[in-house]
Amino acid sequence: MLDPSHIPPVDDDELLARYVTQSGQFRKGDQSVKADLFMPHPHRELSVTRHRDATESEIWAVGKAVALSRKRLYGRADIQAMHCQVDDLRITAKPLLPQNPNHADIEGWPIEKADKKVLALRLADTASKLIPSPLEP
Amino acid sequence: MSTSIAIKGQSAEAQYADNSRYIASQHFQKSATFGRQSAYDELFQVWTECKKANWDGNEALPVLRRTYDNTFRFLQSLPFGCELPSIGVEPDGELTLEWYRNSKWVLSVSIGSTGILNYAALFGHSNSRGSAEFLNDVPDILMTLIKKVMLHARS
């Protein structure tokens, strides 16, 4: 994981993980993820986890912690940072210490819900398909 | 099981025709329900997973029973033969209905407890977005967008 005492800004070529905790967030047919996965909380930004300096097992450990209160972690979808910079969206490193120094927020969401949905559709378009969690059966 | 039938015609032929129409309509309703059962099942599964707050581990709002009911009624009101959407959920507690061909041709409609529908669609490099009110009929604008996405599916 990133050194908590030295958190660099997010580079365009970094990969970001978004965890899938709900069956309706991906399509059963082709395992692609829906825009729903990229809709921000109404009062917050959209949380992602940076791959930078993290091992695969560390990335999954963060996902497991995110899903701790849930029955299961279906997996994650990865998206390149540059593809998140749509319209006014930007990515800011927001380490959650000590648990997750790799935490970042996608900020700059519009106010109107329909406008948010268009951006979420565009993020989903460039994200990877569901990467199943190795921690689940 | 007995069934009461409103007989409108006077002659035996008219009664037979009315009876046949009634039976046909019953078959139609049953097949329509059967055809949508998969969407109803998916709706119930998503609602069950998300009816309690924090279903995403990030303080998502719960999906209210009224939101579930509105979504159920929306599905019921889709015209017979209309392709069924897949069901999803957003962290503000609204359910989503999605018509999907591929990641660049897709329509997503959000339904909450108020009956206001927020929608967004991608059509290749263009998009459409807006809101509409659900008054027990699918708004014309959404039927137009559904057809646009699904007709692309066949092109």
User: DSSP assignment of B35-95, as one string?
Assistant: HHHHHHHHHHHHHHHHSSTTTTSS-PPPPPHHHHHHHHHHHHHSPTTPPPPEEEE-TTS-E
| Chain B residue with minimum CA distance to A39 | B90
Q: What's the token pair of residue A73?
A: 């972690």
Question: Across the interface, which of B58, B88, B118 has its CB nearest the CB of A34?
Answer: B88
Distances (CA, A) of A109 to A113, A118, B18, B50: 9, 11, 57, 24
Tell me: the pLDDT tens digits for A22-78?
A: 888 999 899 999 999 999 987 779 999 999 999 999 999 999 888 776 668 999 999
**Residue holding tokens 């025709």?**
B17
ipTM: 0.91
Q: Would you call A36 and B59 a contact, using CB atoms and an 8 Å cutoff? A: no
Taking only the tens place, the pLDDT of each residue in B31-67 is: 555 578 999 999 999 999 899 998 887 788 999 999 9
pLDDT in tens, B56-102: 877 889 999 999 999 999 999 999 889 999 999 999 999 999 999 99
Higher model confidence: residue B28 or residue A104? A104
pLDDT, tens digit (0-9, with 9 covering 90-100), for B104-129:
999 999 999 999 999 999 999 999 99
Contact B50 A22 (CB under 8 A): yes
Q: Is B30 an 8 Å CB contact of chain A?
A: no
Residue A114 backbone class (left: φ over 0; alpha: ψ -120 to 50; beta: rest):
alpha
Residues 6+ apart with CB under 8 A from B86: A24, A27, A28, A34, B42, B97, B98, B100
**A26 beta partners:** A33
Partner residue opposite B55 with nearest CB, options A22, A32, A39: A22
Q: Are B35 and B81 in contact (CB under 8 A)?
A: no
Give the C-alpha distances (Å, rounded to integers) separating B45 from B35, B51, B63, B114. 17, 10, 12, 22
Q: Closest Cα of chain B to A3: distance in Å? A: 24
**Contacts B127 to A, Cβ<8 Å:** 118, 121
Name the residue in chain A with its Cα closest to that of B42: A24
The radius of gyration of chain A from alpha carbons, rounded to an integer in Å, stands at: 14
Nearest CB partner across the interface for B103, out of A22, A66, A124: A124
Collapsing DSSP to helix, strand or coil, A53 comes out as coil
Taking contacts as CB-CB distances below 8 angstroms, the residues of chain A near B105 are none
Task: Write down the pLDDT at residue B4.
Answer: 41
Q: Whose CA is closest to B50, among B69, B40, B63?
A: B63
Q: Which residue of B has its CA nearest to A23?
A: B46
